[in-house]
Structure formats: C-alpha cells, structure tokens
Structure 1
Amino acid sequence: MQKKPVRQGGVEITQTQTVQVKPTPAPVIKPQPAPKPSYSSFSDWKSDFSMRAISSGYDAGVIRRLLDSAYLNQQVISLDSGQPEFSKMPWEYVDSAVSSGRVSVGKRKFAEQRAFLSQLESQYGVDAEVIAAIWGMESSYGAVTGSSDLPSSLASLAYDGRRQEFAEAQLLSLATLLQRGDVSWSQLDGSWAGGMGQTQFIPETWLKQGVDGDGNGHRNPWATGDALASTANYLSNSGWVRGLAPFYEATVPASFDYSLMGSKQPAARWAAMGVDTIDDVYLDANTQMELWLPAGKDGPVLLLSPNFDVIKVYNNSSSYALGVSLLGKTIDGQSGLRKSWPRYERPLSTTQVTNLQRRLTSMGYDTKGADGIVGTNTRTAFQRWQADNGQTPDGFITQNSASSLAGW
C-alpha cells in the first residue's frame, strides 16, 4: 500500500491506493546437457553398455553374445568422420545411378518381380519402379548388401563416432531383432554405417517399418519379399502421395525471378509464373511443388513433388532422390531428363568452399559457418551475392561462377 496525494475541491488530501508490485521474474536456467561418459578403452565402453542395456530389460545373453565378438573398427570411425576432397557435381551422382550395368540388371529384376511390385503398388500406393530403384541403389538388387560386421561397426560408432547415442540405439534394436528371430546370428554383415539387407534399413527403422512380405512369419531385411514390402511400407508411412511422380521436368521464362528457387508453391501458381512442365502434365492446382535447378540456369529445371522429399527419408540428399527417381523411370522404360547437364562446369575443393564461406560471411552474406560443405545456407548466401553482383542468382557454385568472388 502507498499514500497518494490528490486534490478535492482545492484541498489536498491523502488517499490510500493499492499498487500491484510485479515480482522480479526468476532467471531462466537452461538445463545443461549431461556430459558424455568418458571411457578409457573400447572394452570399458562395452562393459558399461552391456550393464545399461541389461538393466533396461534387454536379454543378458543376447547382449553379451552381440558384444563378445565386437571389435573396434578404426576404418569405420575414419569413414564416419571423413570428408571428400571435392564436392560432386549432380550429374556425377546421376551417372552412377543410371549406369548401363545398373539399368540392364534393373530391367531384368523389375520384370522378374513385376507381379509382386505391382501388388505392393496397389497396397501401399508407392510406384513399383521407385521401390525397384531403391532396391537397385541400396544393394544392386540384393547382390551387394555389405561386408562389414554389424555389431563391430555399430559398437565402434557408439564408442567413438559422431552420433554415439544414435549408434547405441541401433545396437539395442539389433539385439531385439536377434531376440525375436527376425535376424539370424549368421547373418550380421551390412554396411559400415549399420544398413542391413537388400534395401539397407538401419535396425531401429526396420523395427518400426519392417513387414513380413513373403508371409513366412518373420521380418528379415535380407529376404527379397520382406525388403521390398518394407520399403513400400516405409515410404507410404512417410507420406507418399499415390499417383504423383517425384519430379516433373519444366522450363522457366526468361524473366523468371530466381529468388523463388527452393520455395514451395501450389502448382497453379508456378504455372501462372510461366513455369511449364515439358510433357504438359496435369497437376492438381493445389499440389505444393518446389522448383529446383540442380545445375543452375544452364541445366535441367525440375518441379519437385512431395514424393521427392519422401524418398529422402532413405538418404537426406537431393542427388540421391534424383538418382532414385531417374533410375526408376529408366528401368520402367520411361525417358530421362530432356535438358542436358552443363558438364563443362567444375566443382570447388573443400578448401575452396571453406574460403568461399568465410569470404561471403565477411561481406555480409552469412553462410552460418565455414565447414567446406556446400549446403543450403551456403547456396542461399551465394545466391544473394549473385543477385547483388550482376549474375543470374541460381545459387550454382562452380569454379566459373565463384571465380570473381574468391579470386582463384
């Protein structure tokens, strides 16, 4: 309470007034992440992990057997932390995806599995050729499923990898698969990163998405029927839209506003801006599409559908999704890209990318770090620089387009 003087009829009197005093807010204390345990050796980590897993309810015999033969694989750790010397151009990835060998084998395998793949397409809504293409990309249609010892690879990554908690979760999921009999102890070879079977699921995802495609009562990622059905199930559960291709090749008008690249707009709005599909494909007016120029203004122009993003649940790379999409079209007898790639362009080295990122940031075009990797932030910053310096702002970073900025 406080006394406040007021005047009534020319006479000052004192009036009692209630004043609300707001309490000083308590300081917000953000919880600090728990420090990662430090182990003096791989053996110490194995002991601690076994104890934690068993105390959490995992079968002691399975956990001990899983780790008894696991060894520290330094090659796996090196692969996990490695970085390429040069970034790849998009056509290099696509060339590999639709190599003559992969396509010829793919057409034969697609024909062999056509009835089953058509059944999966009917059941899950996922295009048969896309399922087959992922099969081809991930394991060369079951011929190459990996030769790394999965327990050792995952244990090495859990001990000394970039994502230790993730790797531990994969080990626990693998233990569950072994315990319930979906995976046999004699069948534990896969990729160095933990991919299993014919479509290279990691253990945790297989636990959630794996289905019994061949009807034998088990869900085995090395079995063709289970692998293909599980791929269809995974894509379907990830939001696949029935009847929609992953991308549609298009053209843009000369007056196109390149700042719209990468944005998602309804198909009708792209059409109103003069972005036309090459094959005059009908698209629902409200379907959200993204415009992507993987090789800049001189390469193909693609309208990406939501299904393009769904493919990326397998590998969060636009080049991967494009490779899968084109391989699927090719093995199904469809035509590939009409517009040719600007193969005269050359990529930057990792060191050059790092220098470019630092230079852009110093000029006010923030790349959000200098890690030597051309990602979305770097392309966006470069696109802004292009717009301010007389270049077509297509965000395509090459030796030619970046030379005046970087000076090499």
Structure 2
Amino acid sequence: MQLADRIAARNDLDAQWTRRIIGSARVIEPIKKLVLPPPESGQKKNWNAYRARFVEPTRIRAGVRFRDAHLDALQRAEQQFGVPAGIIVGVLGMETLWGQQTGKIRVLDALATLAIDFPREHPRAAARSEYFVQELEQFLLLMHHSDSDPRTPRGSYAGDMGMPQFMPSSWARYGVDFNNDGHIDLWNAEDAIGSVANYLQGHGWMAGLPVYYRIAAGVSEPVLRSLGSGGLAPRHSIEALHEQGISLVNDQGQELAPHSLAELRLALVELENRSSPSLFVAATGNLQALTRYNPSRYYAMAVTELGAAIAAVSPQRSQGR
C-alpha cells in the first residue's frame, strides 16, 4: 500500500485506484525461481544446435504466412524506420511465434511479485526490484491513460507483453499506433511491426547495412579470437582486417575490397559450437542493436538467420502454402 501511495503521488493518480489495483495483485511463487541466474554449466554454447531450434521448416513456413499476411505493414515499417522486413519478422518469430505464444500470466501479478517480493538471493536483488517497481509504475500509467483494466493483460513471467514482448517502459517509449486506429495495441500485428522497427531504430539500427559479413575460410581461430576480444563494439575497419589476412564476403558471395566502406567499423564475433570449431562473423553495429532487444548474441544471430530464411521464400511462391 505504501508503494501504491508513492506511485499515485508521483503521477497524480487517484490513490484509491492504485491501492485497489495493486491490492488485487497476487504473488506468483514460481516466478521468483525463474528470475534467478541459471547455474553455470561449464559447457561451451552450441550455435549450430541453437540455430537449428529456430531456423527450421515449420517455423519458416509460419513466418512466411505471417510475412505474406502483413506485407504492406512490413514494407511501410522498412521505409519509415530503415529496418528490413526480414529482421522484424525474425524478432516476432523468436519472441512469440508471431503471436501464438504471448504468455498466460497476468502482467499485474508478474510485475507486482517482482517489484514487491523480488528474491533476496539474487546477486542484484535491490537493483532488479527497483527496476520492476518502475515497470509496475509504467504499466499502471499505460493502463490508466488508455482507460484499460490493469487486471486484464497477460504476458510472460517477467511482465513482457504482446507479440513483441515489450516491457511497459518500452511500450511507452517505442510503441507505435501503426494501423492508425487511435491506440497502441501490441497484440495487433501492425502495431507490433511498427513498434519493433521503432525500437531497433531507437537502439542504433543502421539502415542499409547487413547484420554481419561472412569471413572467408583460411584464417586461424587464435587470430580471429584475439581480434574478437573487444566484445560486440564495432572497432575494426575492413582494411585493417584485410591487413591481418581476414577477407570478408557479402551475401552474394563477393569478397569486399579492402578500401570499401572506409567509415564502417566491425566487430569480430565468436559463436561457440561446443567441441566443434567456433563460427566467427564480422558484425556491424546492427548485431549490437539486436542485442539491446535480447542480450544474447546467439539470439541476435538466430533472428537474422530466421528472417533471412523467410525472406528467401518469395511472396508469389508462398501463397499456395
């Protein structure tokens, strides 16, 4: 109730309303375990296995159907925000299977549990609890301003909502009324498409650039690993990589000239393959932008690969499916 009063005072809301809404929330005990860091397995990651989970025929066919049903909105989003349709479709496919799995937990319960009763054994419990207090506050504001019942929306165990699984603060900042019906509904495909594109643009997406370039064969792993120690921050020019014996290849299989795209900077990114050799790619800042959606480089690469596999099926060929 003290939290309800603070939220009401900060935002000029009716304290009786915030008390009633927060008072109706219920603690969901299993959520507390889900937000704890997973135990360290000590095993390397497996990019090939991760990719195979998401870039597979059933999911590709579903993505093609979604893409074909919303071509106009995807093309508008690409023109307005500079984010390719394939990337937008890839994000929505990874997040919720294009709206099929948006979550069944009341958002109010999830946010209240993590704001008020965050597990103390978490190494960053205080900071995470405060984060969810802010998200609960933003959620209540969104519901109040749209005259919606906060007890109705359902989402993930962490309070993510809609087809793109936005947290309330992302909804408030990046949500777009892309179908122009007067309100933002992230369970609506058009609004979700525009909102994902707006989010990525807002986090540094660079129009006209790929997510990564392939590295030509013949470079030793130790050389690649030493140059990739800087994380995802792009800092190598194509010319500098060429001087280290590293040639880059575009989607058409053409080798990039050493002096091409002189201003472009790239990051050498390693994707582990358990006991097999790692895959290294030369990533643009667009891979880093995707990791602002989800911090995993494996997630960002899977979004890219899934989107590319869907884009490879032309709309004309797919309409009979």
Query: Shorter-chain TM-score: which interval?
Result: 0.7 to 0.9
- When Rg is computed on C-alpha atoms for both structures, the one with the higher figure is 1
Tell me which amino acid in the other structure corresponds to 2:5. M
C-alpha distance in structure 2 between counterparts of 1:184 and 1:91, whole Å: 44
Within the candidate set 157, 167, 174, 2:114 is matched to: 157
C-alpha distance in structure 1 between counterparts of 2:91 and 2:255, whole Å: 25
C-alpha distance in structure 1 between counterparts of 2:147 and 2:58, whole Å: 32
C-alpha distance in structure 1 between counterparts of 2:218 and 2:39, whole Å: 36
CA positional deviation for 1:301: 2.3
Q: Deviations over 1:281-310 (max 9, x none)?
A: 545122110112212782322111100000
Divergent runs of 4+, >3 A: 84-88, 182-187, 252-256
In structure 1, runs of 5+ residues without a counterpart are 1-46, 335-408
How do 1:208-287 residues align onto structure 2 when only pairs under 5 Å count? 208-251=173-216, 253-254=218-219, 257=223, 258-263=225-230, 264-278=235-249, 279-280=253-254, 282=256, 284-287=261-264
- For the Cα contact (< 8 Å) 1:221–1:227, is it kept in 2? yes
- For the Cα contact (< 8 Å) 1:252–1:301, is it kept in 2? no
C-alpha distance in structure 1 between counterparts of 2:159 and 2:205, whole Å: 25
- For the Cα contact (< 8 Å) 2:108–2:150, is it kept in 1? no
Tell me which amino acid in the other structure corresponds to 1:303. A
What is the match of residue 28 of structure 1? none
C-alpha distance in structure 1 between counterparts of 2:148 and 2:86, whole Å: 27
Tell me which amino acid in the other structure corresponds to 2:308. K
Within the candidate set 143, 146, 160, 1:178 is matched to: 143
The answer as to 2:108 corresponding to 1:108 is no
- For the Cα contact (< 8 Å) 1:182–1:218, is it kept in 2? no
CA positional deviation for 1:82: 4.8
What is the match of residue 318 of structure 1? 297
What is the match of residue 70 of structure 1? 25
What is the match of residue 52 of structure 1? 6
Q: Deviations over 1:105-138 (max 9, x none)?
A: 0111112112210111011100110001101111
C-alpha distance in structure 1 between counterparts of 2:190 and 2:16, whole Å: 30
Within the candidate set 257, 269, 274, 1:292 is matched to: 269
- For the Cα contact (< 8 Å) 2:219–2:246, is it kept in 1? no
- For the Cα contact (< 8 Å) 2:108–2:151, is it kept in 1? no
How do 1:130-145 residues align onto structure 2 when only pairs under 5 Å count? 130-145=87-102
Distance 1:254 1:128, change over 3 A: closer
- For the Cα contact (< 8 Å) 1:249–1:302, is it kept in 2? yes
Tell me which amino acid in the other structure corresponds to 2:174. Q
CA positional deviation for 1:61: 4.5
Q: Deviations over 1:316-354 (max 9, x none)?
A: 1111101111111111118xxxxxxxxxxxxxxxxxxxx
Distance 1:183 1:145, change over 3 A: farther
The RMSD of aligned alpha carbons is 2.1
Within the candidate set 117, 136, 158, 1:193 is matched to: 158
The answer to which of 90-99 and 141-150 deviates more is 90-99
What is the match of residue 391 of structure 1? none
Percentage identity across paired residues of the two chains: 29
The answer as to 2:283 corresponding to 1:304 is yes
Instruction: State TM-score, norm by structure 2.
Output: 0.83
- For the Cα contact (< 8 Å) 1:252–1:274, is it kept in 2? no
Aligned to 1:302, what secondary structure does the other structure show? strand
Point out which structure has higher relative CO (alpha carbons under 8 A, 6+ apart).
2
Distance 1:224 1:234, change over 3 A: same
C-alpha distance in structure 2 between counterparts of 1:101 and 1:254, whole Å: 35
C-alpha distance in structure 2 between counterparts of 1:232 and 1:298, whole Å: 34
C-alpha distance in structure 2 between counterparts of 1:252 and 1:232, whole Å: 34
- For the Cα contact (< 8 Å) 1:235–1:310, is it kept in 2? yes
CA positional deviation for 1:186: 6.2
C-alpha distance in structure 1 between counterparts of 2:218 and 2:243, whole Å: 11
C-alpha distance in structure 2 between counterparts of 1:249 and 1:277, whole Å: 6
- For the Cα contact (< 8 Å) 1:148–1:190, is it kept in 2? yes
What is the match of residue 83 of structure 1? 38
- For the Cα contact (< 8 Å) 1:262–1:290, is it kept in 2? no
Distance 1:188 1:65, change over 3 A: farther
C-alpha distance in structure 2 between counterparts of 1:272 and 1:280, whole Å: 18
In structure 2, runs of 5+ residues without a counterpart are 119-124, 314-321
